Amino acid sequence: MIPGEFTYHRPSSVAEAVAILANHGDEARPLSGGHSLIPMMKLRMAAPEHLVDLGGIAALKGMSEDENVITIGAMTTQHELINSELLSAKLPIISETSLLIADPQIRYMGTLGGNVANGDPGNDMPGLMQCLDASYVLTGPDGEREVKARDFYEAAYFTALAPEELLSAVKVPVPPAGHGYAYEKLKRKVGDYATAAAAVILTMSGTTVETCSVALTNVADTPLYAADASRLLTGSTLDADTISRAVAAAEAITDPASDGRGPAEYRTKMAGVMMQRALARAAERANA
């Protein structure tokens, strides 16, 4: 199918884009990489009357570091995340996760902002941003506001983003040097959404976990920050009993659908398996 009729806008500034969104409200949709929105438009699951292409706004691209926080423009592509020396040095889990998204053609066009903003529970970056305790910069007619990734997602495709706002940047606090990290993703084939996936960030003091953060992807209608599992692991020595209780706590918050990726029970168990794998790899990397 082909999309319905729409008016195409290509603003050159954030202010111009926000003005268009504010003027047209629910009838307008911002376009970043387009890999989620365009297919939905072709299927007539989305039918915006105004399409606001953000590709011409230079201010939405690039990344910088200030006071141990890395700010990434919403229109920064997955390809650019993969090849960033700054991220490789300070936040390698972002580059590693980007490599697991779809295929090279998609990654050349797909953006970080598009991946986190539209509320698709199958996207990889939302869960990772929750794990990293990132914040989203939302820009609207009244200026900017920041919303934690852990508070942003309300239901599938429903977020804290207002119709007249756009997600302009992502702010990520840099974990301590020597931190461990891993993103483990089970999928049926290259380019597919995750059957289940898990992100882990931790720091170690000798054999004891000083800090730990766990998040899950595509096992509910939103990404899941596994707060109870994170608390159980913090202060532990990653003994088998603690890991077992933490995995059970993470599995308990899942609510996956039974679909072509497997029945709900299987996907829940795979979330636990991915978490265990990510935890083991993160612990191995910590202070390595």
**Would the pLDDT of 7 be above 80?**
yes
> In this predicted structure, what is the pLDDT of residue 45?
79
Distance CA 140, CA 117 (A): 14
Q: What is the pLDDT of residue 94?
A: 98
Residue-wise pLDDT tens digits, 191-210? 899 999 999 999 999 999 99
Cβ distance 204 to 287 under 8 Å?
yes
Question: What does the pLDDT read at residue 212?
Answer: 98
Q: In what order do the strands lie in the sheet with 7-9?
A: 7-9, 50-53, 28-31
Integer angstrom CA distances of residue 111 from 77, 124, 126, 277:
4, 12, 12, 27
Residue 14 in contact with residue 151, Cβ under 8 Å?
no
Q: State residue 271's pLDDT score.
A: 98
Helix ranges (H only) for 69-142 are 78-82, 85-90, 92-98, 104-109, 112-117, 125-131
| Domain segments of the chain as ranges | 7-53, 58-173, 181-285
> What's the pLDDT score for residue 41?
83
Structure tokens given for 197: 């996936």
State how beta strands 28-31 and 50-53 pair: parallel
In angstroms, how far apart are the furthest CA atoms of the chain? 61
Average pLDDT over residues 98-107: 91
Q: Which residues of 197-211 are buried (b: 16+ CB within 10 A; e: fewer)?
A: bbbbbbbbeeeebeb
Give the architecture-level CATH label for domain 7-53.
Answer: 2-Layer Sandwich (3.30)
pLDDT digits (tens, 9 = 90+) for 15-74: 999 999 999 999 999 999 888 888 888 888 788 999 999 999 999 999 999 999 999 999
Cβ proximity of 169 and 130 under 8 Å: no
User: Structure pTM?
Assistant: 0.95
**Mean of the per-residue pLDDT values of the chain:** 95
| The one-letter amino acid at 153 | Y
Cβ neighbour number for residue 188 with a 10 Å cutoff: 12
Looking only at the bridges linking them, the beta strands covering 7-9 and 50-53 are parallel
What whole-number distance in Å separates Cα of residue 210 and Cα of residue 108?
37
Q: In the predicted model, is pLDDT for residue 287 greater than 80?
A: no
Same topology, domains 58-173 and 181-285? Answer is: no
What is the per-residue pLDDT for 17?
98
Architecture of the structural domain at 58-173? 2-Layer Sandwich (3.30)
Write out the H or E segment, with its range, that includes residue 217. Answer: strand 208-217
Top pLDDT among 154 and 103 is at: 154
pLDDT at 288 over 90: no
Q: How much of the chain exceeds pLDDT 70, in percent?
A: 100
pLDDT category of residue 227 using cuts at 50, 70 and 90: very high
Confidence of residue 2 (pLDDT cuts 50, 70, 90): confident
Asked if residues 54 and 60 have their Cβ atoms less than 8 Å apart, the reply is: yes
Residue 160's contacts (CB-CB under 8 Å, 6 or more residues apart) are 138, 147, 151, 152, 153, 154
> Does the domain made of 181-285 have the CATH classification 3.30.390.50?
yes
What's the pLDDT score for residue 268? Answer: 98
Looking at residue 98, its pLDDT comes to 97
Q: How far is CA 270 from the centre of its chain?
A: 19
